Structure 1
């Protein structure tokens, strides 16, 4: 039971983050379509100078987050060191791009101006995702601190079968050339 602590906490967080990333992808796609078409005067759009950059990074973060959740789901099912490599690296990458989108959301809020409700919802989701994705990354890598919490990086029993006998050279004694 103690070995599944991080697994039991990471599974619901994975599902919640997956749903939130899909919502971010939908809102960011809609807003970017309006932004490209030049319809920033739409009642639920608005924006300022940081909007274009924010929308680009929000879509990128959403796509990377969804892909990392697919790898994370596979890891939660197997819960082994070899699946941790794919899930851990993709989740760190998704968190890094989400952190960039988080910074741009903060910049967009700081600049001010009129922003529609869809942009404000998108900013809120990206801000929440930055913290929940960080928590998810920490839960995936909890085995780094102790193997009680998940597949650790120092599991010695993984991949080790019966010890092999040392290979002896054929043909008698070998000499050393000087």
Structure 2
């Protein structure tokens, strides 16, 4: 059957995306932990800085807080899409396609949003090597997640 030809491609892309989302979550978790540990201390006798941001990160630039926050959300939803994707690849029927495709599309949309903040962070030009790595992974993930969505939809189109 022609629709079985896309199954190995979808499986490979799902495994690749899983590994990259785990790396994004790991680096984002490190950045969030560092921001919490080295953030502003507010209490009696402390005044807020003039340009206080509740999303303050000691490394990076003004876009880092938004970038890391949305990268973590995209990573968690991307890992969640793995569960639905594995179920779809296991059964590979038209009944399991809508759930896999919808969660993958949401993960892709959040990845695009995080990539947009990553591009803004690249434009502002002050960041460390871990943030550069996370930016690169999100740019690659934007393409591979879209290819995964196309692969599972391509199998449905061939079947008709």
- TM band (smaller chain): 0.7 to 0.9
User: Could you state the TM-score of these two structures normalised by the residue count of structure 1?
Assistant: 0.76
Structure 1 residues 16-95: aligned runs within 5 Å: 16-38=16-38, 46-95=59-108
Question: Alpha-carbon deviation of 1:51?
Answer: 0.2
Structure 1 unaligned segments of length 5 or more: list them: 40-44, 153-178
Counterpart for residue 128 of structure 2 = 116
1:130 is matched with which residue: 142, 146, 150?
142
Distance 2:88 2:3 in 1: 15
Question: Alpha-carbon deviation of 1:143?
Answer: 3.7
**Which has the bigger relative contact order, CA under 8 A and spacing at least 6?**
2
Query: Does residue 28 of structure 2 align to residue 15 of structure 1?
Result: no
Query: Does residue 3 of structure 2 align to residue 3 of structure 1?
Result: yes
Structure 1 residues 147-158: aligned runs within 5 Å: 147=159
Q: How many residues align?
A: 142
Counterpart for residue 171 of structure 1 = none
Distance 2:36 2:94 in 1: 44
Question: Alpha-carbon deviation of 1:85?
Answer: 1.2
User: Could you state the TM-score of these two structures normalised by the residue count of structure 2?
Assistant: 0.84
Taking only aligned residues, the RMSD between alpha carbons, in angstroms, comes to 1.4
> Higher helix proportion, which one?
2
Runs of 4 or more off by more than 3 Å in structure 1? none
Encode CA deviations 1:127-163: one digit per residue, 9 max, x unaligned.
110110010111111145331xxxx5xxxxxxxxxxx
State the SS of the aligned residue for 2:96. helix
Is contact 2:74–2:114 with CA below 8 Å preserved after alignment? yes
Query: Does residue 105 of structure 2 align to residue 97 of structure 1?
Result: no
State the SS of the aligned residue for 2:61. coil
- Over alpha carbons, which structure has the higher Rg? 1
Distance 1:17 1:91 in 2: 11
